[in-house]
Amino acid sequence: MECPSCQTAVFAGQRTCPGCGLRVEGFEGTDPLSGMVLDGRYQLLEKVGSGGMGSVYRAVQLAVGREVAVKVVNVLALQDPATLRRFQTEARIISQLRHPNTLTLIDFGNMPDERPYLVTEFLRGESLSQALARGPMSPRRTLEILYEICDALTEAHAQGIIHRDLKPENIFLEAAEGRTVVRVLDFGIAKLGQTNNTATGTVCGTPAYMSPEQAQGGVAEPRSDVYALGILAYRCMVGRAPFEGEQPLAVLLKQIQEQPLPLRQAMMRPDLPTEVEWLVMAMLEKEPERRPASAAEVRAHIQHILTQVSLPLMVPAAPGISVPTPVPHAVLTPAHTTPVPFVSEAGLGSDPAMMRVLGVGLIALAVSIAAGAFLWKQGEADRVPVVQAVTAPVPMEVEEDEVALPAAPDLPPLEEAPDAIVDGPAKGARAEVRAKARRSGGAPTVSASEKKASEKKDGEKTSEKKKKKTEPPPGFLDFDVN
């Protein structure tokens, strides 16, 4: 620790500050282990966490200046052989695991008072519990986290190691080089091979994340970790665990007897893909044989969903918000177990399946716009102008050459016309002229006097027309503007 007066380093056992002489023994807020050097190699800097079994300190490896984490057993654990055995088991287990999603062990030893300690890499980031305190996660983000947890558990299960205490506090989201790496922590109560650190009939774990067989004091197996994975997935997407209660015993009874609310109903999102709900609810089956057999099988299903199923960015709907009816998806089938790159929440838009769907949609939209424009232009070219009727035409004077005369009717030729169409006193004379014309084979002739009389009559009719006004067509208003 540091002296509160001069900030000089004060080590455990020192009653006064070597810099200013201030008495620091029993000073409020001090930690007796802060500043201690273990085995001449690791100096403890500050406490960063604590639990039922021990405390975790940020420390420095003096030989190389590397930042490390040191976990130290509590003083009371010296009187509890079971706690010491669990601590040693954790050190032995993580020393066998090499997967990058598992915490790496660096060293193990004993303090001067015989308390054991273990040294691991120091992680920067936050626990899954801290992340969930900000609210639920989307299905894609949840499955990405579960995928990396399954990677770590697959190695552990292959070596006969059952974690038995998977919960948000034991999942760490490490910030490393611009991306998030999921780390599985705390194998303290893990079962190693055929050995069991827990007496038969003893319940071991966290009630909200324990499998029914663990809650009944049974033997844990890989499917017990699968059940805990289902609880984690449910907790991430819904915002709460499927079984809750004020007392641990009440939660354990629910784990054994009650069925969880279906994921779609809990999220109030009927548009949640069928495959996601199927996988989570399958992991939460009460009977172990009805669950996926291992973390590797769960990982295969997650691989299929992440690569083949469209996962919208969604969280549980607020009460009163309506959502569309889900579209049926393909039946879930196991896929290859090729690792899926971890995608951060900010990089969800780079999903290849979503990009293909977006591309096809944009192309279809462009074609529709082009076709619509073409048809509109064709319609404009073919359209006949509409002339609006004038409701009140005005009578007006017109010149003689502007009068539109009706077309002449189709009449039979003169030589074939009956005599009845000729009226007046000239009827007989004209008939005789036509008869002579037929006999001679020539056209009928008109005398000069007849031509002059006809012209005079036509002139009188024309002068009368010039004096008259044009009449409006039937149905229009009749008024004079003079």
DSSP symbols for 421-478 = G--STTHHHHHHHHHHHHHHTS-----HHHHHHHHHHHHHHHHHHHHSPPPPPTTS--
Could you give the number of structural domains in the chain? 2
Report if residue 351 sits inside a domain.
no
Does the residue 309 lie in any domain?
yes
Tell whether 59 and 101 lie within a shared domain.
Answer: yes
Strands 161-162 and 171-176: unpaired
Identify whether residues 136 and 277 lie together within a single domain: yes
Q: Is 165 a catalytic residue?
A: yes
Dihedral, CA atoms, 185, 191, 193, 194, nearest 10 degrees? 180
With respect to residue 135, please indicate whether it lies within any of the assigned structural domains.
Answer: yes
DSSP 102: B
What sign does the CA torsion over 373, 376, 381, 386 have?
Answer: negative
With CA atoms as reference, report the closest residue to 197 among 90, 104, 295.
90
264 with 310, same domain: the answer is yes
3-class SS at 180? Answer: strand
By three-state DSSP, how is residue 340 classified? coil
Do 193 and 221 lie in one domain? The reply is yes
DSSP secondary structure code for residue 427 in this structure: H
- 141 and 275 inside one domain: yes
Judge if 147 and 275 occupy the same domain. Answer: yes
CA dist 145 → 71, 171, 241, 348, 447 (Å): 25, 9, 17, 14, 119
Question: CATH number for the domain including 65?
Answer: 3.30.200.20
In this structure, are 236 and 92 located in the same domain? no
Residue the block writes with tokens 């009650």 = 258
Check: CB of residue 84 under 8 Å from CB of residue 78: yes
Locate tokens 């001679």: which residue?
440
In terms of C-beta density within 10 A (0-12 exposed, 13-18 middle, 19 or more buried), how is residue 36 classed?
buried
CA-angle at 439, arms to 433 and 442, nearest 5°: 70
The radius of gyration of the chain's CA atoms, rounded to the nearest angstrom, is 50
Residue 331, token pair as written in the block? 């039946």
Looking at the fold, whether 294 and 317 belong to one and the same domain comes out as yes
* Same domain (yes/no): 69, 129: no
Domain boundary among 63, 98, 121: 121
For residue 117, the tally of other CB atoms under 10 A from its CB is 24
Statement to judge: residues 140 and 289 lie in one domain: yes
Host domain of residue 87:
39-121
- Catalytic entry in 39, 107, 165, 401: 165
Q: Decide if 265 is inside a domain.
A: yes
In this structure, the answer to whether residues 206 and 290 fall within a common structural domain is yes
Distance CA 122, CA 308 (A): 37
Tokens 């000069």 found at = 448
- 296 close to 222: Cβ distance less than 8 angstroms: no
Burial class (CB in 10 A: 0-12, 13-18, 19+), 236: buried
The pLDDT profile of the chain, 482 residues, written as one tens digit per residue, is: 555 445 566 666 666 767 666 555 544 456 788 889 999 999 999 999 887 778 899 999 999 999 999 999 887 777 788 878 888 888 888 888 989 999 999 999 988 888 899 999 999 999 999 999 999 999 999 999 999 999 999 999 999 999 989 999 999 999 988 889 999 998 766 665 544 444 444 567 789 999 999 999 888 999 999 999 999 999 999 999 999 999 999 999 999 999 999 999 999 999 999 999 999 999 999 999 999 999 999 999 999 999 999 987 766 654 444 443 333 333 333 333 333 333 333 343 444 555 555 566 677 777 777 777 766 666 555 554 444 444 444 444 444 444 444 444 454 444 444 444 444 444 555 556 556 556 655 545 555 666 666 666 666 655 555 444 444 444 333 434 43
Pairing of strands 161-162, 125-127: unpaired
Question: Which residue type is seen at 356?
Answer: R
Residue 356's H or E segment, with its range, is helix 352-382
291 and 276 share a domain?
yes
